[in-house]
Structure 1
Amino acid sequence: MSHYQSDSTQVDVLPVPEVASIKELKDHPVTNIIGNLQDGVKTRSLVDNTCLYTCIKDSGVLDDCSCSCFISQVEPKNVEMALNDNNWIEAMQKELAQFDKLKVWNLVDLPKGAYPIGTKWVFKCKKDDRGVVVRNKARLVVQGFNQQEGIDYTEVYAPVARLEAIRLFLAFASFKGFKVFQVDVKSMFLYGKVKEEVYVCQPPGFEDPLNPNMVFKLDKALYGLHQAPRAWYETLSTHLLANDFVRGKIDSTLFIKKSGGDYLLVQIYVDDIIFGSTNKGLCKDFEGVMNSKFEMSAMGELSFFLGLQVNQKEDGFFIHQSKYVKDILSRFKMADCIPYDTPIPVNHKLNSDPDGKDVDCRLYRAMIGSLMYLTASRPDIMFAVCICSRFQAKPKESHSIAVKRIVRYLKGKQRLGLWYPHGSNFDFNAYTDSDFGGCYLDRKSTTGGCQFLGNRLVSWQCKKQTTVSISTCEAEYIAAVSCCSQILWIQQQLRDYGLNFTRTPMLCR
C-alpha cells in the first residue's frame, strides 16, 4: 500500500488491478421459462388484459381509472406511432375486419389509364359526456379531394336534419311524455353502394406483401368519398320505406310509422339516429328492423347528441351544453377567468375601430365559431355573438375584449339550458322585434325573433337585415316577414307529427 502525505492530510491510495475480472454467465434454464416459447418476448403493453378486464368488470369495481388501463389515452399523430401501440393496432384490425365482413372492396390490378385514390388512417379517442375516454377508434378514410367530378362521382347531395328539427322532436316527445332513445350504426358508410368505378390504395401499414402493387376496387362507400353520405342515405331510407315508414314531407330526415293510435318517430342525422314512440313495443320493433340489415350499437336513452346533452327526467327534458362550455373555457385558456353577469353591455357601441390594435384573426374567428355552435341551446348569447361576428375580417383589440366577455359570462352560467316540461300545453306562439339602425358599420337594423310550443322555446333568430330601413316601421315589417317565414316552416314540420296549426299569433313589439 502506498500513500501520499501533505502538510495537513494523509490519503491512502489503492492500486488499480491491471486486468478487470470477467464474470461468466450461463444460459437460463429452459425449464424456468414461464409461458409458451413460441410466443416470443412480450412487453407489458403487448400483454392481453382481456381476462383481467373481465374479472374486474364481473366483480363490479370497474371505474374510469380501470378503463384507462385497457384504452390508450393518446391519439397517435401518424400510422407509425399507432403501429407501436397494441391498442391502436387492434382498433385498425377491427376496422379492416368490418371491411371484409361487409365486402367493401376487392383486390385487383389497376386498369390502364385509371388512377388510385390515396387512403389515410384517422385516430380518435372517443369520449362520453363526462370527457372520459371510452373507446379507441381507428377510421380508414379516402382522400376524396383527389376525386374528379364526372369520373369518380356525380351527385353528392344528402339531406341533414336542422337543429330546429331536433328541438321540435324533443319538444313533441316531452309533450307526449315518451322516452327518446338513440342508436348508432357501426361503420354506416360501408353499407352504401358505389355506382362509379373507384380504386383506392392499400391501407398504410397493412399492405399485401405478395401483391404490393395491386389496388382495391370499391363496391361500397368509404369515409371521405364525396358520394358516401348520399349512398348511405339512399340505403337507409330505402330500408325504412320498405318497412312501412313514411318520409316527412318537409324534413326528409324524419320517418314516421303509424300503428293504430300509436306512432313511431325516427330522426336521422347522418349516422346518428334518435327515435321514440308512444308505444314501447314499436321501439322494440324498430330495433329489430335496423338489426336485420345493419350492425347497430344500442346506446339506450338519449343523453348526448350532436353536442347537446339531454337529461330525460320524470317531469321533462333538460337540454344544455355544459360540457361544450368547459371545452371552450379550456381551449381558449379562460378556465380561471373572472365571470361576468351579462354577455354584452346595453350600450356596447362596437364599431370597426380603425385606430385600434390588431389581434390574431385566426384566434378571433375560432372563438366566434365555437360560440356560434353554442347558440344551439343558448339563446341568451345569440345577440352578443351576432354583433361580434361582424368584425371577423379585421378584428381589433376592442372586439377581442367583447368576445372574451361572452366567454367570461359563460364561466358563471355554465349550466343554463332549455327546459321542456312533460304534458303542458302545446300552443304555437311567435315573437319578433327589431332595432333601428343598430349596426354602426352600415346603419342596418337587426332582426330578432323566437318561437314557442307552449312554454318550450324551440327556435330563435338574430340577424342583421340585408337592407337599410328608413323608418322603425320598415325595420319592424322586415323582422315580421322573417319571423313569418320561420312560422310557416314550423307549421309544415308539425304537420308530419299530426298537428295542424292554421292560425299562429305573432306578437311584434
Structure 2
Amino acid sequence: MLKDHLECDFAKCDKTFRDFEAALPADRVDENRKAYKAEFDGMVDSGSLSKPVPLPLGHVPVPMIMVGKVKTPTEKDPKGKLKWRACPKGFKQRDGLNFDADDIYAPVMDKTTLRMLLSIGNSRDANLRQADVTQAFLWADLDEEVYVTAPPGYDLGRDDRGRPLVFRVLKAIYGLKQSPACWYKLISRWLLEQDYQQSGYDQCLFHAWRNANGPIDPSQRPDDQHDDFMFIGFHVDDFLIVTTDKQWETEFLDSLRSRFDISDLGEPTQLLGLNIEHNKAARSLKISCPTVLNDMLQDTGMTGVYPTTSPATNPEPKDLIVADDDYRQEGLDPAKVIGSIQYAACSCRPDLALVCSALGSERQEKTLAGLKNLKRSIGYVAGTVNMGLIYHGATSSRFAQITVWVDSEFGGDLKLVKDPTGRPRYGFAIFVGNDLVSYRTKAADTVVLSSAHAEVIGLSEACRHLSWVRNVLKDCGFKINPTVIYEDNAAAISIATRAYLTSRTRHIHLRDLYVRELVKKGDVEIRYVKTNENIADFFTKFQPVATFRIHRDILMGISPVKRA
C-alpha cells in the first residue's frame, strides 16, 4: 500500500490542466495546484493504491485522468471552491480481465420509495434525518486485479524493461465499472449485520420495528400506532432515515459513524436534487426542485419569459409540420429542455408529466406544434418554479388506505403528433392516505379497437404498479386494506370484474387482464366515478385551464382529495 505522498511536476500536466488553469485569475493558480495535489494525496491517504509496481504480463493499465471544476459559489466561498477529481477511464476496462460484466449492477432507491418514506415520516410525525458517507466507494475493497497509470504530472519511474510503473488499485475508486457494486455490497452487508431487514421489493430500503420488549418481526404485523419503526433508504452514499424513536436514530448514526466517515446533515432540506420543506408542527411536507428548473430557464435564456397558465394545449392541425428551422431560430434544444423538465416531472411535478411524454417525439422529429408547446411549457415552469408535491399528515386509519385513479384516452396521439400511431394513452395516480406517491402517463404499445379495451390496459398497468406499492408497505410491516380504484368506464369495469370474455373482448391480451387477478384475490375494489371527477384524466389529455388547475391542485396536495 502506498503511504507517502508523491511530488507533482505541474509543467508535465496535460492540456486539460493547462486550459483549466489558464482560465483562472492569476491569484488562484496556487490554490488550483494545491487542490490538484490534494485530490491525489487523498486517494493515497485512503489506502486505495499500491506502491508503484511493474505491469504484470497479460494486463492492460487503465489510464487515470484528473477532472477540474469550479464549484457553485456560496456565502462562505464567494469565488467557488476549486475541486479536482482523480478518475480512471473505466470505459477502457476489459470484461473478463479487470471486471466482470455480470457483477457490476448497483441499485439505487426508487423515487416512489423516497416519496413513500417522506409521506410515512410526515403522516406518523416521525423524525427525518439525512446523512452522507464521505468518499463512500473508497471504503469498499476491490476483488479484481486492476492496474492504473499515474495521473498527469506524476512520474512513477520505469521497470527493468523500460515500461512505466503503474499502481494496483486496492479500493473501489470512483470511475471503475465495478466500484458502485462494491460499495452497494458493503453497505448492504453492514446494514444486515445491524439487524435491519432488507426489503424484497426495493433493495435500497432497510427496515426494523421495536418496542419496550425489544425487536419485532415485521411479518408479525407490528402495531404501527404504538410500536417504533426505523426505515433507511439510500441512494449510493445519501441516506434518508425515518424513525419514530429519537434515541434509535442516535444509536444508528453512532453505529454508522463508527464504521464510516459520515456527514450528519440533520433534517433533510436538500436531498437528491430536491428541496424538502418539513413543517413538523403543521404536519406538512413539500417536495420541489426549483434548482433544476431555474438552471433550465437560465440555459434557455428565458428567465424573464411571461408565465403561462398551463404547460400545453391541443395543437392546431396546420401546426403539425416539420420545423427544424424554427427551432434553430429560437435557439432551443428540445432534448435538453425536455430532459430537465422530465427530471422534475418524475420527481415531484406531476403537472409536467403529460407534456414531457407528449413532446418526447420532438427529439427526433421537430414540429411547429411541438415548438409552440415547448415554449408554453417553459413559460409555465417560469411561473410555477417553486411548486411541488405537498404532503399533509393523515389520520392513522387513513394512512393505510391506498387509492388509485385511472384513465385512458382512446387514440391518444391522433391530435398531438405529425404521424400518429393511434395507440391509446393511459395515466394513473396512486395515493397513500392523502399523499400522491406514484403516477404515470404513457402511450400503450398496441392499437386497440375500443375505449373499453384502452381503459382495461390502463387498469392493468395501474394494478401492476399498485401491487409493488402494496408489497413494499406490507414488507415493511404495515397492514394494508383492499385498495379502491376509481375508473370512469363502465364497460371496462365489467370486463375487469367478470370471469369470462365475450365475442367482442376475446382479442384482449391476457396481460391486459391482470386487473382481474387482483379483483379475484380481493386486493382491489373498482368503483365507478364520473369522467369530470376522475383526476387521472389529467394524465391523458391536455385539459382546459380551469379543469387543469382543479386536478393539478388535488394531485399536488394543494386541495384535498375527494373520494366517492
Which TM-score tier does this pair reach, normalised by the shorter chain?
0.7 to 0.9
Structure possessing the higher radius of gyration over alpha carbons = 1
Paired residues, number: 433
Mapped partners of 2:137, 2:207: distance in 1: 23
Mapped partners of 2:235, 2:207: distance in 1: 15
Corresponding residue SS for 1:105: coil
Q: Give the equivalent residue in structure 2 for 1:112.
A: 57
Mapped partners of 2:130, 2:317: distance in 1: 43
Q: Give the equivalent residue in structure 2 for 1:368.
A: 338
Say yes or no: does 1:302 pair with 2:246. Answer: no
Residue 434 of structure 1 contacts residue 448 of structure 1 at CA under 8 Å; is this kept in 2? Answer: yes
Q: Give the equivalent residue in structure 2 for 1:487.
A: 466
Say yes or no: does 1:385 pair with 2:356. Answer: yes
2:440 counterpart letter in structure 1 = Q
Mapped partners of 1:397, 1:87: distance in 2: 50
Mapped partners of 1:383, 1:259: distance in 2: 42
The structure 2 residue matched to 1:149, chosen from 82, 95, 101, is 95
2:98 counterpart letter in structure 1 = D
Shift of the alpha carbon at 1:349?
A: 5.0
Change (3 A) 1:411 1:133: farther
Query: 1:446-474 CA distances to partner (integer Å, 9 max, x unpaired)?
Result: 10110111211111110001111111101
Which one is further off, 143-152 or 117-126?
Answer: 117-126
Shift of the alpha carbon at 1:258?
A: 2.8
Mapped partners of 1:180, 1:397: distance in 2: 47
Mapped partners of 1:343, 1:498: distance in 2: 40
Mapped partners of 1:285, 1:291: distance in 2: 10
Corresponding residue SS for 2:333: helix
Say yes or no: does 1:338 pair with 2:306. Answer: yes
Query: 1:130-176 CA distances to partner (integer Å, 9 max, x unpaired)?
Result: 99777443221110110111111111111111111110110111111
Corresponding residue SS for 1:297: strand
The structure 2 residue matched to 1:264, chosen from 181, 206, 230, is 230
Which runs of 5 or more structure 1 residues have no equivalent in the other structure? 1-75
Say yes or no: does 1:353 pair with 2:320. Answer: yes
Mapped partners of 1:328, 1:258: distance in 2: 43
Shift of the alpha carbon at 1:432?
A: 0.4
Mapped partners of 1:134, 1:289: distance in 2: 34
Residue 322 of structure 2 contacts residue 366 of structure 2 at CA under 8 Å; is this kept in 1? Answer: no
Change (3 A) 1:355 1:394: closer
Counterpart mapping for 1:157-306 below 5 A: 157-208=105-156, 213-260=164-211, 261-306=227-272
Query: 1:362-389 CA distances to partner (integer Å, 9 max, x unpaired)?
Result: 8111111111101011111111111111
Shift of the alpha carbon at 1:82?
A: 5.5
Change (3 A) 1:160 1:145: same
2:299 counterpart letter in structure 1 = R
Say yes or no: does 1:496 pair with 2:447. Answer: no
Mapped partners of 1:133, 1:450: distance in 2: 44
Which runs of 5 or more structure 2 residues have no equivalent in the other structure? 1-13, 22-27, 212-226, 415-419, 489-564
Q: Give the equivalent residue in structure 1 for 2:436.
A: 457
Q: Give the equivalent residue in structure 2 for 1:478.
A: 457
Shift of the alpha carbon at 1:417?
A: 0.8
Corresponding residue SS for 2:439: strand
Mapped partners of 1:133, 1:184: distance in 2: 25
Corresponding residue SS for 1:325: helix
Query: 1:218-265 CA distances to partner (integer Å, 9 max, x unpaired)?
Result: 111111111011000011111111111111111110111333232221
Change (3 A) 1:350 1:143: farther
Corresponding residue SS for 2:259: coil
Mapped partners of 2:463, 2:73: distance in 1: 39
Which one is further off, 414-423 or 479-488?
Answer: 414-423
1:437 counterpart letter in structure 2 = G
Mapped partners of 2:156, 2:258: distance in 1: 33
Percent sequence identity over matched residues? 27
Query: 1:44-89 CA distances to partner (integer Å, 9 max, x unpaired)?
Result: xxxxxxxxxxxxxxxxxxxxxxxxxxxxxxxx99323566733333
1:439 counterpart letter in structure 2 = D
Shift of the alpha carbon at 1:430?
A: 0.5
Change (3 A) 1:323 1:363: same
Residue 445 of structure 1 contacts residue 464 of structure 1 at CA under 8 Å; is this kept in 2? Answer: yes
Mapped partners of 1:194, 1:99: distance in 2: 14
Q: Give the equivalent residue in structure 1 for 2:292.
A: 324
Residue 82 of structure 1 contacts residue 88 of structure 1 at CA under 8 Å; is this kept in 2? Answer: no
Say yes or no: does 1:468 pair with 2:413. Answer: no
Q: Give the equivalent residue in structure 1 for 2:524.
A: none
Corresponding residue SS for 2:371: helix
Mapped partners of 2:177, 2:484: distance in 1: 43
Residue 184 of structure 1 contacts residue 271 of structure 1 at CA under 8 Å; is this kept in 2? Answer: yes
Change (3 A) 1:356 1:208: closer
Residue 82 of structure 1 contacts residue 89 of structure 1 at CA under 8 Å; is this kept in 2? Answer: no
Counterpart mapping for 1:128-143 below 5 A: 135-143=81-89
Residue 319 of structure 2 contacts residue 369 of structure 2 at CA under 8 Å; is this kept in 1? Answer: no
Q: What's the TM-score once normalised by structure 1's chain length?
A: 0.80
- Please tell me the root mean square deviation across aligned C-alpha atoms, in Å: 2.5
Residue 79 of structure 1 contacts residue 205 of structure 1 at CA under 8 Å; is this kept in 2? Answer: no
1:435 counterpart letter in structure 2 = E
Corresponding residue SS for 1:420: strand
2:87 counterpart letter in structure 1 = V
Corresponding residue SS for 2:241: strand
Which one is further off, 496-505 or 354-363?
Answer: 354-363
Shift of the alpha carbon at 1:342?
A: 0.9
Residue 350 of structure 1 contacts residue 399 of structure 1 at CA under 8 Å; is this kept in 2? Answer: no
Change (3 A) 1:135 1:188: farther
1:214 counterpart letter in structure 2 = L
Change (3 A) 1:293 1:355: closer
Q: Give the equivalent residue in structure 1 for 2:381.
A: 410
Residue 129 of structure 1 contacts residue 323 of structure 1 at CA under 8 Å; is this kept in 2? Answer: no
Residue 129 of structure 1 contacts residue 309 of structure 1 at CA under 8 Å; is this kept in 2? Answer: no
Mapped partners of 1:500, 1:140: distance in 2: 48
Structure (1/2) with the larger helix percentage: 2
1:431 counterpart letter in structure 2 = W
Mapped partners of 1:294, 1:503: distance in 2: 42
